[in-house]
Amino acid sequence: IAGITQAPTSQILAAGRRMTLRCTQDMRHNAMYWYRQDLGLGLRLIHYSNTAGTTGKGEVPDGYSVSRANTDDFPLTLASAVPSQTSVYFCASSASGDTGELFFGEGSRLTVL
Amino acid sequence: GQNIDQPTEMTATEGAIVQINCTYQTSGFNGLFWYQQHAGEAPTFLSYNVLDGLEEKGRFSSFLSRSKGYSYLLLKELQMKDSASYLCAVRDKDYKLSFGAGTTVTVRA
């Protein structure tokens, strides 16, 4: 059972470079989310998608873009990386109904130099 | 938006009980969640409250008072493996989840 798969697991990136973090889920969940986690600040929502074809901005969307072409994939793109985007990025998904709990991927650790 | 507060750190002894408090202010409440996160790992779901009262699940219980904007997570019979960060999260009417900064619990022998 894969659940949610993120790639890469870890990446060091030069400032100004473009980077896409990949996220794929096999649970057929409607909703998907991208969070960043920084020490002392907790998890902050970057972008989300309630269903394929739609996206929305979270708490900290600037410098990031997402797309949701199908149910399974939700890539996060940094168009021109800056050092303040150094963080651990978590992708998550949830199903409609019930508790709607989030299931998280294992995270992608990104360092921008 | 959401404003979620929880203590930064707590320490307790193996076998004891620890209560982690969470207060929140929200423009549209649609459920409160607790997650556990071990160092270097992804958060995992612990509990969910949408109505006032206590939800019990084994050694873990979670309480909610919507009128007070208050929840707590109760961990009983603490084990060393319970050393982790515990995240309080509030869902809004658009089904977006906002997290507190987390409470690091250290269990000592």
Residues B15-61: tens digit of each pLDDT: 999 999 999 998 889 999 999 999 999 999 999 999 999 999 999 99
A41: chain B residues, CB-CB within 8 Å: 101
B5 vs chain A: nearest CA distance in angstroms? 11
Q: List, for residues A47-65, the tens digit of each pLDDT value.
A: 999 999 999 999 999 999 9
Q: For residue B72, which of B10, B26, B25, B6 has the smallest C-alpha distance?
A: B6
Under 8 Å between Cβ of B88 and B70: no
pLDDT beyond 80 at B2? no
CA nearest B8 in A: which residue? A40
pLDDT beyond 70 at A1? no
DSSP state of A85: G
Q: List, for residues B78-95, the tens digit of each pLDDT value.
A: 999 999 999 999 998 888
Q: Which two tokens stand for residue B7?
A: 């203590």
User: What is the Cα–Cα distance from A65 to A57, expressed in whole angstroms?
Assistant: 9
State residue A41's pLDDT score: 86
**Contact (CB<8Å) A104/B48:** no
Handedness of CA B49, B39, A65, A49 (dihedral sign): negative
CA nearest A98 in B: which residue? B48
pLDDT beyond 90 at A2? no
Q: Tell me, rounded to whole angstroms, the distance of Cα A112 from its chain centroid.
A: 17
User: What is the Cα–Cα distance from B48 to B64, expressed in whole angstroms?
Assistant: 9
State residue B75's pLDDT score: 97
Chain B CB within 8 Å of residue A44 CB? yes
State residue A97's pLDDT score: 60
pLDDT beyond 90 at B63? yes
Q: List, for residues A4-24, the tens digit of each pLDDT value.
A: 999 999 999 999 999 999 999
Interface test with A, best of B5, B96, B103, B104 (most A CBs within 10 A): B96
Handedness of CA A49, A55, A61, A65 (dihedral sign): positive
State residue A39's pLDDT score: 87
Residue B62: in which H helix or E strand, if any?
Answer: strand B60-65
**Contact (CB<8Å) A44/B99:** yes
pLDDT beyond 90 at B1? no
Computed over every residue of chain B, the mean pLDDT equals 95
Chain A CB within 8 Å of residue B99 CB? yes
State residue B36's pLDDT score: 98
State residue B96's pLDDT score: 87
pLDDT beyond 70 at A98? no
pLDDT (mean) for B60-68: 97
Under 8 Å between Cβ of A66 and A77: yes
Closest partner CB to B42 (pick from A31, A90, A100): A90
A36: chain B residues, CB-CB within 8 Å: none
**Contact (CB<8Å) A45/B98:** yes
